[in-house]
Amino acid sequence: MNWEFYFAAFQKISSRYFIVALIGFLIFYVIFRRRFFFKKIQQKFPANNDYFRELGYSLLTMLIFSSVIVFLNSPTIVIYTTRYQSIDEYGWLYYFSVFPILFIMHDLYFYIMHRIMHHPSLFKYIHLVHHKSTNPSPWAAYAFHPLEAIIEQGIVVIFYFSLPIHISHLAIFFLFSIVYNVYGHLGYELYPKGFNKTWIGRWINTSVNHNQHHQYFKGNYGLYTLIWDRIFGTIRKDYDAQFETISKRQPDS
């Protein structure tokens, strides 16, 4: 193994996670804990043991993510992938047009894999670790069982073998991904009142939506959007009502 490349990959992946999750944690769980408490979806905080568990599994996840990146970029494998070196090879128009494609591919992949992992014969062996965070914090974003971490990183394998992709595509896309992932596990709703009923908000995943999934274990399987949940009828029937209830809360005077 190219250890220098491995540590470089781990540094990039872990820095994204720690910086984004730490910002969310410091703002909502430490510095402005009381000021923003009215926005807390579940009106309680996780125990310290929950934070440590989430951090431990997240660290393991990032080690696995890094291993997959090193494997895909090894000399014997990368020659069979669709990764390219120079942006000029396909041009800037193609470069920017790839991002919405990655977004749709990842969103659909996550929905399918997520529903499969909720099958009773698989749940307790793969996905239960993540669901131990019934009241998730920002540190839960990567708190996966090792098998789930491999499944989650499967989308990178698909990217590498399906369409021409520049290495910076992954760096930028997964920066966006961890930001939205941390928001989904933040435990606070940041979108304004009525957002869930707007023409775009109806299709966008929210922290309330994913928090319900962690709390009740059923329904709301989406990642970035609610498209697949709405198409396949897996969105919780009480989602809109809970979003409205939480977003209408006012700070204590």
Give the pLDDT mean for 182-203: 97
DSSP H or E segment with residue 145: none
Higher local confidence (pLDDT), 51 or 253: 51
What integer pLDDT is reported at residue 252 of this predicted model? 76
Higher local confidence (pLDDT), 110 or 5: 110
221 Cβ contact partners less than 8 Å away, ≥ 6 residues apart? 111, 114, 115, 118, 213, 228, 229, 234
pLDDT tens column, 20-45 = 999 999 999 999 999 999 999 999 99
Mean pLDDT of the chain: 96
What integer pLDDT is reported at residue 253 of this predicted model? 55
pLDDT tens column, 69-119 = 999 999 999 999 999 999 999 999 999 999 999 999 999 999 999 999 999
Query: Whole-model pTM above 0.85?
Result: yes
- By the 8 A CB rule, do 224 and 100 touch? no
pLDDT band at residue 136, thresholds of 50, 70 and 90? very high
What integer pLDDT is reported at residue 102 of this predicted model? 98
DSSP H or E segment with residue 165: strand 165-166
Give the pLDDT mean for 164-187: 97
Count of beta carbons in the 10 Å neighbourhood of residue 190: 15
pLDDT tens column, 42-65 = 999 999 999 999 999 999 999 999
- By the 8 A CB rule, do 39 and 189 touch? yes
Q: Which residue has the tokens 């920002």?
A: 138
Give the pLDDT mean for 118-130: 97
- By the 8 A CB rule, do 177 and 99 touch? no
